[in-house]
A and B are shown apart, each in its own frame.
Chain A
């Protein structure tokens, strides 16, 4: 009888479980853990992602290759990758813009609107100058929108009779592209520097004669201006040699002429104001739509004189008055943080405005006749 009750020989039986420790993993009555407290993306296998990317690149790469082979590739230096958080912000803004439906009734970048800020002439005084649109961010944002709209945005250089210059993104098949108007892409007539005006004045001999004891100072001033002008430009080896030669010239007028000559060569490769206006006028006839987006476009820059910015900064000041700061340093830090947050928020709003405008432009170009 004892044998029958050895543990392994006891007969099997139905037995209620009185107490069972509740498992820790969520039950069907608990919140979905793939969604809360934060979303857990599906862990696609690497081999699957690679296959999908290969499929999508195969679909895109053909038209990109065609676009870049017909026209010369852009002579611009490739930009370094944007910071991850900036790229993330761009993605969020573009995704939000893609959810809206543009009307496409007008060209939001038409010069006649008077919003582009062109022609732009820099001031020798920096106080109160607006914060321009970041060209780098704008290029990345617009390229993303182009891609989402099924358009290629290959950098392309045009060397035509009525249009010479580098375009930041162009779809050769659909005949639509964009240019970020800045010091690198637009010439003096569209983006003027007070320094180059001075050089022109000296080169032409219109300036009053400089006393001999002031010539050295003037030469130094010209060299520094030229350095500022040309350091932002990609010069060929020959052009770099020309620049070096110009810095060694002693005569003020000769130096000015050399710098102006070099400037004209460099500027010839850029897009002029006349070319911008003509291209806009001939867009329908030539079936080529190029949006020129200046970094000083009023809609996309932030200035402290902007009414909205002014109100927000004023509100910030009023809020600061209610806070008891323990030290001046703490107050300064607080202001800095608030300022940065406000600037980031307003930048975001401006970038959102840019994204909407680009979509509006694409919709308008489509209504005008591109595929």
Chain B
């Protein structure tokens, strides 16, 4: 299967800067941690490759994502890549994102990232007890205490900073408390994800269901208080109805829209396949010779093939089983729906719909605009900027350009 040329307005290239990490999270899918990182020469060639690809695809937007291991262990290389991309991709809209555990976010590093407009999302699993249990350092020591200063520092720099929270079978019963703790620290955007490769039982999912119910009540009460926030578990589910299922151009498309560049320069369809960079069955090319189109097409065809076990399901348009990587983690196959994904979505969807029904019944203006006004992300960004006095005197200029982009 090969998508039509120019089907993707955004090309997203994830640079895996290193396999090394300063934490040893239980659920990490990136494989063994060792000190091999991307060299400057490979990085330079990877930049050339990504830029050329975006030009050939006539993409409007080139998104560079930094990943690892812990990408900030290669902070200088990261800055160098950003600078190179800005020079090479003049005239094209570029953006930079990274996911980090935050332990290396010193004031100097934040200043470097701020100067380069790199959007940072922090990986924090919740309150200190959960964080220490799930994200210890190599010596098994907790990492929560080291984040005490980091969180306010990062939010002071950028109040739009997102937080990624992984829910494991152990933390499921307190998932609601973990999320509330994160919002209490000042985060406004929280993304929750399950440990899809974890050993989940029905008991664990039942506990998670109860946590989701409590979280749903919190979502309703916070919305009624006109709080601006994004909570992926509910908002994505609600949006699966209010905006419809994601198009291929909005998904990873197994390397056509979004791909990973391993430290070695090899190309993979998703971050989940890089691991120790020896998964050659998933390798779809390299930055010097480009993509192996036949392999890439075959993977996409496999990922997009209809799943017989899902045929006729009333929730098929709203289910997360479109993600072949999540299926792979649960079943070892791209084309087979993961039981965990299915059970989770059957659990979460009614809870999210109940939340939405409550707010719809009231015709709550914030709920309506959040889910039906395409300009909402821009408008709420402006509100946050004005509230935090971040861009108080340039808010109109920001809004003007943001609206032009959004249109």
For B204-218 the 0/1 string (1 means CB < 8 A from A) is 011000000000000
- CA A10 to CA B366, docked complex, whole Å: 41
Q: Which residues of A contact B372 (CB under 8 A)?
A: 26, 32-34
Q: Is the CB of B339 within 8 A of A34?
A: no
Q: Which residues of A contact B309 (CB under 8 A)?
A: 14, 16
Q: Is the CB of B342 within 8 A of A15?
A: yes
A9 and B202 in contact, given A25-B360, A28-B242 (Cβ under 8 angstroms):
yes
Chain A CB count within 10 A is highest, among B206, B313, B368, for: B368
Contact residues, B308-339 vs A (CB, 8 A): 309-315, 337-339
Closest Cβ–Cβ distance, residue B366 to chain A (whole Å): 5
Closest Cβ–Cβ distance, residue B372 to chain A (whole Å): 5
Q: Is A211 among interface residues, defined by CB-CB distance under 8 A?
A: no
For A49-92 the 0/1 string (1 means CB < 8 A from B) is 00110010000000000000000000000000000000000000
Q: Is B343 among interface residues, defined by CB-CB distance under 8 A?
A: yes
Q: Which residues of B contact A12 (CB under 8 A)?
A: 200-202, 205, 339-340, 342-343
Closest Cβ–Cβ distance, residue B212 to chain A (whole Å): 16
Q: Is A11 among interface residues, defined by CB-CB distance under 8 A?
A: yes
- Pick the contact of B337: A9, A14, A34 (CB < 8 A): A14
Q: Is the CB of B346 within 8 A of A17?
A: yes
Q: Which residues of B contact A16 (CB under 8 A)?
A: 309-314
Q: Which residues of A contact B383 (CB under 8 A)?
A: 44-45, 48
Closest Cβ–Cβ distance, residue A21 to chain B (whole Å): 8
Q: Which residues of B contact A28 (CB under 8 A)?
A: 241-244
Closest Cβ–Cβ distance, residue B172 to chain A (whole Å): 13
Q: Is the CB of A52 within 8 A of B386?
A: yes
- CA A26 to CA B241, docked complex, whole Å: 8
Closest Cβ–Cβ distance, residue A14 to chain B (whole Å): 4
For B108-150 the 0/1 string (1 means CB < 8 A from A) is 0000000000000000000000000000000000000000000
Q: Is the CB of A20 within 8 A of B314?
A: yes
A25 and B365 in contact, given A12-B205, A34-B372 (Cβ under 8 angstroms):
no
Closest Cβ–Cβ distance, residue A46 to chain B (whole Å): 9
Q: Is B93 among interface residues, defined by CB-CB distance under 8 A?
A: no
Which of the four size classes fits the interface of chain A? 35 or more
CB nearest to A44 among chain B residues: B383
Q: Is the CB of A40 within 8 A of B314?
A: no
A14 and B226 in contact, given A8-B202, A25-B356, A42-B379 (Cβ under 8 angstroms):
no
Contact residues, B144-162 vs A (CB, 8 A): none
Q: Which residues of A contact B202 (CB under 8 A)?
A: 7-12
Q: Is the CB of A41 within 8 A of B387?
A: no
Q: Is A19 among interface residues, defined by CB-CB distance under 8 A?
A: yes
A40 and B369 in contact, given A8-B206, A25-B356, A47-B386 (Cβ under 8 angstroms):
yes
Q: Is the CB of B242 within 8 A of A14?
A: no
CB nearest to B338 among chain A residues: A14
Q: Is the CB of B314 within 8 A of A17?
A: yes
CB nearest to B206 among chain A residues: A8
Q: Is B185 among interface residues, defined by CB-CB distance under 8 A?
A: no
Q: Is B373 among interface residues, defined by CB-CB distance under 8 A?
A: yes
CB nearest to B327 among chain A residues: A14
Q: Is the CB of A24 within 8 A of B360?
A: yes
- CA A44 to CA B373, docked complex, whole Å: 14
Closest Cβ–Cβ distance, residue A9 to chain B (whole Å): 7
Q: Is the CB of A33 within 8 A of B368?
A: yes
Q: Is B392 among interface residues, defined by CB-CB distance under 8 A?
A: yes
Q: Is the CB of B365 within 8 A of A41?
A: yes
Q: Is A286 among interface residues, defined by CB-CB distance under 8 A?
A: no
Q: Is B276 among interface residues, defined by CB-CB distance under 8 A?
A: no
Closest Cβ–Cβ distance, residue A231 to chain B (whole Å): 49
Q: Is the CB of B205 within 8 A of A42?
A: no
Closest Cβ–Cβ distance, residue A37 to chain B (whole Å): 11
Q: Which residues of A contact B339 (CB under 8 A)?
A: 11-14
Contact residues, B12-70 vs A (CB, 8 A): none
Q: Which residues of A contact B371 (CB under 8 A)?
A: 25
Q: Is the CB of B363 within 8 A of A9?
A: no
Q: Is B304 among interface residues, defined by CB-CB distance under 8 A?
A: no
Q: Is A307 among interface residues, defined by CB-CB distance under 8 A?
A: no
Contact residues, B354-388 vs A (CB, 8 A): 356-357, 359-361, 363, 365-366, 368-369, 371-373, 379, 382-383, 386-387
Chain A CB count within 10 A is highest, among B202, B206, B349, B360, for: B202
- CA A12 to CA B349, docked complex, whole Å: 17
Q: Which residues of B contact A43 (CB under 8 A)?
A: 226, 365-366, 369
- Pick the contact of B241: A8, A25, A34 (CB < 8 A): A25
CB nearest to A49 among chain B residues: B386
Q: Is the CB of A34 within 8 A of B369?
A: yes
Q: Is the CB of B363 within 8 A of A51?
A: no
CB nearest to B313 among chain A residues: A16
- CA A26 to CA B379, docked complex, whole Å: 22
Q: Which residues of A contact B361 (CB under 8 A)?
A: 24
Q: Is the CB of A9 within 8 A of B241?
A: no
Closest Cβ–Cβ distance, residue A357 to chain B (whole Å): 33
A51 and B392 in contact, given A14-B310, A42-B379, A43-B226 (Cβ under 8 angstroms):
yes
Q: Is the CB of A40 within 8 A of B340?
A: no
Q: Which residues of A contact B363 (CB under 8 A)?
A: 33, 40
- CA A40 to CA B365, docked complex, whole Å: 7
Q: Is B203 among interface residues, defined by CB-CB distance under 8 A?
A: yes
Closest Cβ–Cβ distance, residue B371 to chain A (whole Å): 8
Q: Is A18 among interface residues, defined by CB-CB distance under 8 A?
A: yes
Closest Cβ–Cβ distance, residue A35 to chain B (whole Å): 9
Q: Which residues of B contact A27 (CB under 8 A)?
A: 241-242, 244
Q: Is the CB of A34 within 8 A of B373?
A: yes
CB nearest to A12 among chain B residues: B339
Q: Is A208 among interface residues, defined by CB-CB distance under 8 A?
A: no
Q: Which residues of A contact B314 (CB under 8 A)?
A: 16-20
Q: Is the CB of B386 within 8 A of A23?
A: no
A–B pairs, 10, beta carbons within 8 Å: A9-B203, A12-B200, A14-B339, A14-B342, A15-B342, A16-B310, A16-B311, A25-B238, A25-B360, A47-B387
**Known A18-B314, A29-B244, A47-B387; further 13 A-B contacts with Cβ < 8 A:** A12-B205, A12-B339, A13-B343, A14-B338, A15-B343, A23-B357, A24-B357, A27-B244, A28-B243, A33-B368, A42-B365, A43-B226, A43-B369
A binding-site residues for B, Cβ under 8 Å: 7-20, 23-29, 32-34, 40-45, 47-48, 51-52, 55
The 9 closest A-B pairs by CB, nearest first: A25-B360, A20-B314, A12-B339, A28-B244, A8-B203, A16-B313, A43-B365, A23-B353, A14-B342
